[in-house]
Amino acid sequence: MPNNINFYLEKLAAESGLSYSRLTDSENLSQALQNPKLATEKIVQADIRRQPASLALLLLSLVYLPKRYTFHRFFRHLSS
């Protein structure tokens, strides 16, 4: 039964233009990850506006939190 599955996966990979590598142990996985023939480079657009906006929101929220509440909870864990 496993041979039928492997054959199907090899056929499916060939039809879709991909490569098939049977990963039976960690050595095969390591070789597959380091094989440049299996790598595909693509240029994609990435939106990184979320990270600076999250940092700004965090800093802004710290301004509006009561100082006693914020520092009391933080330093309580350090003194124990």
pLDDT of residue 52: 94
Q: What pTM, to 2 d.p., does this model score?
A: 0.40
State the total domains in the chain.
Answer: 1
54 found inside a domain? yes
Q: Which domain holds residue 55?
A: 50-79
35 found inside a domain? no
Measured torsion, CA atoms of residues 52, 54, 60, 61, in degrees rounded to the nearest 10:
-170
Whether 8 contacts 20, CB under 8 Å: no
pLDDT of residue 43: 92
Extract the residue ranges of the chain whose pLDDT is less than 70.
1-2, 66-80
